[in-house]
Amino acid sequence: VVGSAEDRVSHTVTMSFLYVSGAALAEELDAAGFAVASGSACSSDALTPSHVLAAMGVPRARMMGSVRFSLGHSTTDGDIDRAIRVTVDAARRLAATA
Protein backbone atom coordinates (compact mmCIF):
# COMPACT_ATOMS: atom_id res chain seq x y z
CA VAL A 1 0.00 0.00 0.00
CA VAL A 2 1.41 3.36 -1.03
CA GLY A 3 1.41 6.32 1.34
CA SER A 4 1.13 6.99 5.01
CA ALA A 5 -0.76 4.53 7.19
CA GLU A 6 -2.08 7.37 9.35
CA ASP A 7 -2.25 10.54 7.25
CA ARG A 8 -4.52 9.64 4.32
CA VAL A 9 -8.02 9.95 2.95
CA SER A 10 -10.21 7.05 3.98
CA HIS A 11 -11.83 6.31 0.63
CA THR A 12 -8.81 5.92 -1.65
CA VAL A 13 -5.92 3.45 -1.66
CA THR A 14 -3.07 2.89 -4.10
CA MET A 15 -1.29 -0.45 -4.19
CA SER A 16 1.91 -1.27 -6.04
CA PHE A 17 3.06 -4.69 -7.19
CA LEU A 18 6.62 -5.64 -8.09
CA TYR A 19 7.06 -6.95 -11.66
CA VAL A 20 3.39 -6.35 -12.52
CA SER A 21 2.16 -3.89 -15.12
CA GLY A 22 -0.34 -1.49 -13.59
CA ALA A 23 -2.18 -1.27 -16.91
CA ALA A 24 -2.41 -5.06 -17.22
CA LEU A 25 -3.63 -5.35 -13.63
CA ALA A 26 -6.22 -2.63 -14.24
CA GLU A 27 -7.45 -4.58 -17.29
CA GLU A 28 -7.75 -7.79 -15.24
CA LEU A 29 -9.70 -5.95 -12.54
CA ASP A 30 -11.92 -4.29 -15.12
CA ALA A 31 -12.77 -7.70 -16.57
CA ALA A 32 -13.75 -8.79 -13.03
CA GLY A 33 -16.07 -5.79 -12.68
CA PHE A 34 -13.84 -3.35 -10.79
CA ALA A 35 -13.19 0.18 -12.03
CA VAL A 36 -9.68 1.13 -10.96
CA ALA A 37 -7.01 3.47 -12.27
CA SER A 38 -3.39 2.65 -12.93
CA GLY A 39 -0.60 4.74 -11.41
CA SER A 40 -1.04 7.95 -9.48
CA ALA A 41 -3.91 10.36 -10.04
CA CYS A 42 -1.67 13.06 -11.48
CA SER A 43 -0.08 10.78 -14.08
CA SER A 44 -2.69 8.13 -14.82
CA ASP A 45 -2.47 8.75 -18.59
CA ALA A 46 1.33 8.52 -18.70
CA LEU A 47 3.03 5.43 -20.08
CA THR A 48 6.07 5.99 -17.86
CA PRO A 49 6.42 5.15 -14.17
CA SER A 50 4.88 7.71 -11.87
CA HIS A 51 7.31 10.38 -10.71
CA VAL A 52 4.92 10.99 -7.81
CA LEU A 53 5.15 7.41 -6.55
CA ALA A 54 8.94 7.59 -6.89
CA ALA A 55 9.00 10.87 -4.92
CA MET A 56 6.85 9.25 -2.22
CA GLY A 57 9.61 6.72 -1.74
CA VAL A 58 7.97 3.74 -3.41
CA PRO A 59 10.92 1.36 -3.68
CA ARG A 60 11.79 0.30 -7.22
CA ALA A 61 8.92 2.41 -8.60
CA ARG A 62 10.18 1.77 -12.13
CA MET A 63 9.72 -1.99 -11.64
CA MET A 64 6.27 -1.76 -10.10
CA GLY A 65 2.79 -1.34 -11.43
CA SER A 66 0.21 0.48 -9.35
CA VAL A 67 -3.56 0.56 -9.20
CA ARG A 68 -5.73 3.04 -7.34
CA PHE A 69 -9.04 2.08 -5.75
CA SER A 70 -11.68 4.61 -4.71
CA LEU A 71 -14.50 3.53 -2.43
CA GLY A 72 -18.01 4.95 -2.55
CA HIS A 73 -20.92 5.12 -0.13
CA SER A 74 -22.36 1.91 -1.57
CA THR A 75 -19.11 -0.10 -1.23
CA THR A 76 -19.62 -3.06 1.11
CA ASP A 77 -17.18 -5.13 3.14
CA GLY A 78 -17.94 -7.97 0.71
CA ASP A 79 -16.94 -5.75 -2.23
CA ILE A 80 -13.64 -4.99 -0.52
CA ASP A 81 -12.98 -8.64 0.31
CA ARG A 82 -13.69 -9.67 -3.29
CA ALA A 83 -11.48 -6.86 -4.63
CA ILE A 84 -8.61 -8.04 -2.45
CA ARG A 85 -8.98 -11.67 -3.59
CA VAL A 86 -9.25 -10.75 -7.27
CA THR A 87 -6.34 -8.29 -7.07
CA VAL A 88 -4.01 -10.75 -5.32
CA ASP A 89 -4.88 -13.55 -7.76
CA ALA A 90 -4.42 -11.31 -10.81
CA ALA A 91 -1.14 -9.85 -9.52
CA ARG A 92 0.24 -13.33 -8.86
CA ARG A 93 -0.73 -14.49 -12.36
CA LEU A 94 0.79 -11.43 -14.00
CA ALA A 95 4.02 -11.58 -11.96
CA ALA A 96 4.44 -15.25 -12.87
CA THR A 97 4.42 -14.35 -16.57
CA ALA A 98 6.80 -11.37 -16.23
CB within 8 Å of 49: residues ≥ 6 apart: 39, 61, 62, 64
- pTM for the whole structure: 0.76
For 84-94, what is each residue's pLDDT tens digit?
999 999 999 99
Is residue 14 within 8 A of residue 68, CB to CB? The reply is yes
85 exposure class (CB count in 10 Å sphere: 0-12, 13-18, 19+)? exposed
Catalytic position from the list 23, 31, 41, 42: 42
- Could you tell me which residue, 49 or 24, shows the higher pLDDT? 24
Average pLDDT, the chain: 83
42 is a catalytic site residue: yes
Task: Give the whole-angstrom CA distance, residue 76 versus residue 62.
Answer: 33
Confidence of residue 58 (pLDDT cuts 50, 70, 90): low
Q: Read off the pLDDT of each residue in 41-59 and give the average, rounded to a whole number.
A: 61
The type of residue at 61 is A
